[in-house]
Amino acid sequence: MGSVVQLLSRRATQVTARKAFTISPRHASCQGRRYYSSEPNQKSSSAWIWLTGAGAAVGVGFYFKSQVATPSTSHIFIPTKDDYQKVYNEVAALLEEKDDYDDGSYGPVLLRLAWHASGTYDKDTGTGGSNGATMRFAPESGYGANAGLVAARDFLEPVKAKFPWISYSDIWILAGVCAIQEMQGPIIPYRPGRSDREAAACAPDGRLPNATKGAAHLREIFGRMGFKDQEIVALSGAHALGRCHTDRTGFTGPWTFSPTVLTNDFYRLLIEEEWQWKNWDGPAQYEDKATKSLMMLPTDMVLIQDKKFRPYVEMYAKDNKAFFKDFSAVILRLFELGVPFAEGTENQRWTFKPTWDS
């Protein structure tokens, strides 16, 4: 059964470049939280953050043995879409409850966890990707690009304990989907089936983008995963969410004035604002000339400096619906990199209802 991405209608929260960026998390009925903690590495690999209809439940192939009656008897538990919706709802409830992180939401850092777990994929060797959840182990947990992601992993531990049948690999990606949708982003189709692996499967360091580099670096990093120019720009729109931290990546500040709501503001601000180098002792980054409260990374500015990237930035800056459509499609691909799904399950994906869409 073919999957069709349906973009939910909502108010696109547009905040002018002169207003404060903190938005009270979810007190307004149609306002989501914006998640995304981006963090550049002070060493070699900076953490550059990027980032259908309901499918049939056939071919999930996930089994969990739970004890019943006596220790010697057990039954096989095959999770359904409703079971995954319960996990989604639990993550969403925790996002609502734990509002003491950054700008009032763990959402951005959950999305960053899902992205960094997926973005290690190498199409030539078939290694890396979202299957395995190897960031639980050293050395991957200690890579500079993954600094600060322990906050996201720890956030999800109570959910994993409540639903022990779901793999870490699947829950990390499902949490990323939840983060996007609860921050009023587009609906992201989800396909379970990832399994956890041991430390020996850790991806090598250096596979994630370095925020200090240029266009050639972006094409090399994302080309290794199989992405083209437009997809690189579409994934970059996740920088509308969250902020950078000096104690993680060396960079500092948010990209937009509403870092807990996903819109096309990242592109709009890139085009409309005047950007200058920030005068400080940290790594080279840009700040907006008007308020000096926003930031852009060198890899962000490349998107308007490169003649092939820029037309896509301009397109998304003018059309939030186009951005949501393309972002949903490309983040779906990103989240499935490196997963040995059962053959024939490409159209057997599920979509989950955001908690604010009652």
- What is the model's pLDDT at position 344? 86
**Inside any domain, residue 34:** no
Sheet holding 286-288, edge to edge: 275-277, 286-288, 295-296
- What is the model's pLDDT at position 73? 52
Q: Give 192-244 as a 3 state SS string.
A: CCCCECCHHHCCCCCCCCCCCCCHHHHHHHHHHHCCCHHHHHHHHHHHHCCEE
pTM of the model: 0.81
**Inside any domain, residue 345:** no
- CATH number, domain containing residue 223: 1.10.520.10
At 15-31, the pLDDT tens digits run: 333 344 444 444 433 33
**Inside any domain, residue 124:** yes
Computed over every residue of the chain, the mean pLDDT equals 85
d(CA 210, CA 218): 8
d(CA 177, CA 225): 20
Residue 24, Cβ density class (10 Å: 0-12 exposed, 13-18 middle, ≥19 buried): exposed
d(CA 116, CA 281): 27
At 204-222, the pLDDT tens digits run: 999 999 999 999 999 999 9
Report the SS3 class of residue 276: strand
**Inside any domain, residue 268:** yes
**Inside any domain, residue 313:** yes
Q: Over range 153-167, report the average pLDDT.
A: 98
At 46-69, the pLDDT tens digits run: 444 444 333 333 334 444 444 334
Report the SS3 class of residue 136: helix
**Inside any domain, residue 70:** no
At 248-293, the pLDDT tens digits run: 999 999 999 999 999 999 999 999 999 999 999 999 999 999 999 9
Select from 257, 231, 256, 253 the least CA-distant residue to 243.
253
Q: Domain span at residue 198?
A: 77-335
What is the count of structural domains for the chain? 1
d(CA 47, CA 250): 10
Select from 175, 187, 170, 211 the least CA-distant residue to 41.
211
**Inside any domain, residue 39:** no
Helix (H) or strand (E) holding 300: helix 298-305
Where in the sequence numbering do the catalytic residues fall? 116, 255
**Inside any domain, residue 10:** no
Q: 342 or 228: which carries more pLDDT confidence?
A: 228
- What is the model's pLDDT at position 309? 99
Backbone angles phi, psi at 93, to 5 degrees: -65, -40
- What is the model's pLDDT at position 294? 98
Place of tokens 């993680």: 248
CA dihedral 179, 208, 137, 62 (to 10 degrees): 50
Q: Over range 77-84, report the average pLDDT.
A: 95
Percentage of the chain surpassing pLDDT 70? 79
- What is the model's pLDDT at position 5? 38
